[in-house]
Amino acid sequence: MRKTRSVKTYNQAFREDALAYLERSQGTFAGVAASLGIPKLTLYTWYKSDMAAKAKKVLGMKKPRVGRPEGDAEKLARLEAENRKLREQVATLEEDKVILKKFAAFTMREKT
């Protein structure tokens, strides 16, 4: 007779608590999973999907397009918009760098 695996489902709150515990404990996947009584592969899968979701949120990534392929004009417009956004980020970071250098120089003068 063929055995069937039982699939246990966990609610979203448990998943979030497990991932928070994993981050707080700085333990291994195997150790944290064992202490929670779940398979380590399950915890690892949750971790990977959580990291991917955070990356999408931070980078502002959208879901990949489904349907017709992107045309040359659309690709060019998308890349130009992305380039413009990246240039703005670089300019902001350069301004932050100048401010931090001035602050560091100011604090060094006060110490002496």
Please check whether residues 56 and 82 belong to one and the same domain.
no
Quick one: DSSP state of residue 38?
A: S
Burial profile 18-54: b = 16 or more Cβ within 10 angstroms, e = fewer = bbeebeeeeeebeebbeebebeeebbeebbeebeeee
Rounded to whole angstroms, the Cα distance separating 43 from 38 reads: 7
Residue 28 maps to a domain = yes
Residue 65 maps to a domain = no
pLDDT for 58: 72
Residue 18 maps to a domain = yes
Rounded to whole angstroms, the Cα distance separating 111 from 19 reads: 43
Note the pTM of the prediction, 2 decimals: 0.48
Domain count, the chain: 2
Q: What is the number of helices (H) and of strands (E) in the chain? A: 4, 0
Please check whether residues 77 and 55 belong to one and the same domain.
no
Residue 51 maps to a domain = yes
Q: At what angle do helices 29-36 and 40-59 cross, to 10 degrees?
A: 110
Query: Within 13 A of 84's CA, how many CA atoms are on the CB side?
Result: 6
Please check whether residues 107 and 76 belong to one and the same domain.
yes
Please check whether residues 14 and 56 belong to one and the same domain.
yes
Find the largest Cα–Cα distance for the chain: 83
pLDDT for 86: 96
- Structural domain of residue 108, as residue ranges? 70-112
pLDDT for 84: 95
Q: Print pLDDT tens along the chain (112 aa).
A: 666 666 778 888 888 888 888 888 878 888 888 888 899 899 999 999 988 888 777 777 665 556 677 788 888 999 999 999 999 999 999 999 999 988 888 888 777 6
- Token pair for residue 66? 């489904």
